[in-house]
A and B are shown apart, each in its own frame.
Chain A
Amino acid sequence: MSIPLVPQLLRSHLRELAENDQRLDNRSQFEGRDVEIEVGILGNAEGSARVRMGDTIVLAGVKFQTMTPYPDRPNEGGLMCMAEVRPVSGRQHEAGPPSAESIELSRVVDRGIRESGCIDTSDLCIIPGEKAWQVILDLFAVSDDGNLFDAFALAGITALRNAIIPQEKFELGEDRPLVVSKTPIMCSYQRVGGRFIFDANGREELGGDERIHITLGDDNHVHSLQKGLKGAFTAAEFTELMEEARKKGEELRNMVHALEGGN
């Protein structure tokens, strides 16, 4: 286990740094780590992306299955989002059934994508009431040095935006791109040393308090929020984070679009 014997030492160090407006890796309060995005890196996935932020590395893969539409929505397909934080990604991650943390992770990422309405589920219908496409987005952590939330959300939307529906394989006509009309972006903030910072790394997460996840769509509409861990924050703090998320979200969204040749 890598949990320090005396986490209080780490916490007091982080507090000292925060009082001097510093961070462990010399970033400013709302500065993220450098982001690298690659697309189409998984040969057997119908859409894929790899995101690297510092020493945090994640993969996203999109697969398609056919499903029977739900009785109340006979003309719609479905989206499923699953995040796995397997023990490969860090010594603190144990083998076994999904932890509460990794379930929270996949659900928060799922909500951001689903609620943005970026995927038109009626476009996934094959035969009304009988057959429709189910889009499955699998998120996989390779290396966890903090802020898997943002890395997963970014890899997820990038993989979806580059996914091809494998209609030929299912003998349903020609392959076609999955239509993804928006680019929801998640920005996560954590209270470390008494103040909120953007894109906490592994050490900052270990010595931090509550975190806030904000997913914004193309028009800065809010699509998902989540407050996690112990702690209380003020309305003023939240307003500042929303403002920061708008700026950062725009930047990351442009990055995703640039990969598609200016979409």
Chain B
Amino acid sequence: MGYGDVQMIDANGIRNDGRKAGDVRPISIELGVVPVADGSCRMKWGSNDVIAAIYGPMEAHPRKIQRQDRAVLDVRYNMAPFSTSDRIRPGFNRRSREISKVTAEALESVVMLELYPRSKIRVEIEIICAEAGTRCVGLTAASVALAHAGIPMTDLVVSVASGKINDVVVCDLNKAEDNYGEADLPMGILPNSGELVFLQMDGDLSPEEFKQAWDYNMDAAMVIHDYCVEALKTGRYPQ
């Protein structure tokens, strides 16, 4: 089946999981899920289940990776073998490498690396269960885990994707929508300034559709930011 062949939205604009176009899937956040780490966060988002753990700042070795004026961020995004419908063979692949790279660059934009010259901060993102949008969940969870580790940052990064299905722009695509969708626009947003530190897109969006997807992401990021702040204050969201 190709694009648009599967009807995912009914006549009343209700999606296959009962959401309206601008709704985000249910989210829960728990801190301290990796007790041996310096900071950690488990984020469940729809059926996604993601763990982010922080180690550091620590000595950067080998020495050639050290920077005299700042810390280096060592970010790894990885999908556990049992996280998807078909088992994934362990090990790095091109996809996880790219996601690790853009996630690192998004986080480098907010972490105050200049405070820790010559050191390294490790950010480990593990996808335990995947259901569309894992890069967004991973990036958001990593920023919450960094805050939990007490690493100075200028802002959190909240990441969310909108896309298009059956010619309707919708926020936060689920698995079925992602499989049959016509476009996907993930963004990483700094809630306090409204700036972006992460942006990707694939598919086909008209200028109007693009504007709508952009606005959905901006609005959703503010809501998700509130969840993250609540979790950081009390250790979990919802209570």
Is residue A142 contacting chain B, with contact meaning CB distance below 8 A?
A: yes
B129 touches A87 (CB 8 A): no
Q: How far is the CA of A145 from the CA of B36 in the complex (A)?
A: 7
Is residue A140 contacting chain B, with contact meaning CB distance below 8 A?
A: yes
A57 touches B80 (CB 8 A): no
Partner of A61, one of B33, B82, B130: B82
B87 touches A144 (CB 8 A): no
Q: How far is the CA of A57 from the CA of B84 in the complex (A)?
A: 21
User: B-facing mask of A43-61, CB < 8 A → 1, else 0?
Assistant: 1110010000001010101
Partner of B80, one of A1, A55, A140, A144: A140
- Measured between beta carbons, the chain A residues less than 8 angstroms from B85 are 44, 169
- Measured between beta carbons, the chain B residues less than 8 angstroms from A1 are 58-59
Is residue B2 contacting chain A, with contact meaning CB distance below 8 A?
A: no
- Measured between beta carbons, the chain A residues less than 8 angstroms from B84 are 44
- Given A43-B129, A91-B55, do A143 and B35 touch, yes or no (CB 8 Å)? yes
A82 touches B90 (CB 8 A): yes
Name B70-111 residues within 8 Å CB distance of A: 76, 78, 80-87, 90
User: B-facing mask of A74-99, CB < 8 A → 1, else 0?
Assistant: 00000000101011111100010000
- Given A86-B126, A88-B124, do A61 and B80 touch, yes or no (CB 8 Å)? yes
- Measured between beta carbons, the chain A residues less than 8 angstroms from B128 are 42, 59, 140
Q: How far is the CA of A129 from the CA of B51 in the complex (A)?
A: 41
Is residue A32 contacting chain B, with contact meaning CB distance below 8 A?
A: no
Is residue A216 contacting chain B, with contact meaning CB distance below 8 A?
A: no
A47 CB to nearest chain B CB (Å): 9
Name A115-152 residues within 8 Å CB distance of B: 136, 138, 140, 142-145
Is residue B201 contacting chain A, with contact meaning CB distance below 8 A?
A: no
B36 touches A143 (CB 8 A): yes
B126 CB to nearest chain A CB (Å): 5
A133 CB to nearest chain B CB (Å): 13
- Measured between beta carbons, the chain B residues less than 8 angstroms from A144 are 36
Given contacts A44-B83, A89-B34, 19 further A-B contacts (CB under 8 A): A42-B83, A43-B129, A44-B47, A44-B85, A45-B82, A55-B36, A59-B80, A62-B82, A63-B81, A63-B82, A63-B87, A65-B87, A87-B55, A88-B53, A88-B76, A88-B78, A91-B37, A138-B90, A143-B36
User: Which residues of chain B have a CB within 8 Å of any CB of chain A?
Assistant: 33-37, 47, 49, 51, 53, 55, 58-59, 76, 78, 80-87, 90, 122, 124, 126, 128-131
User: Which residues of chain A have a CB within 8 Å of any CB of chain B?
Assistant: 1, 42-45, 48, 55, 57, 59, 61-63, 65, 82, 84, 86-91, 95, 136, 138, 140, 142-145, 169, 202
Q: List 25 A-B contacts (CB under 8 A).
A: A1-B58, A42-B83, A42-B128, A44-B82, A44-B84, A44-B85, A45-B82, A48-B82, A61-B80, A63-B81, A63-B86, A86-B124, A87-B122, A87-B124, A91-B36, A91-B55, A91-B58, A138-B80, A138-B81, A140-B128, A142-B33, A142-B34, A143-B37, A169-B85, A202-B36
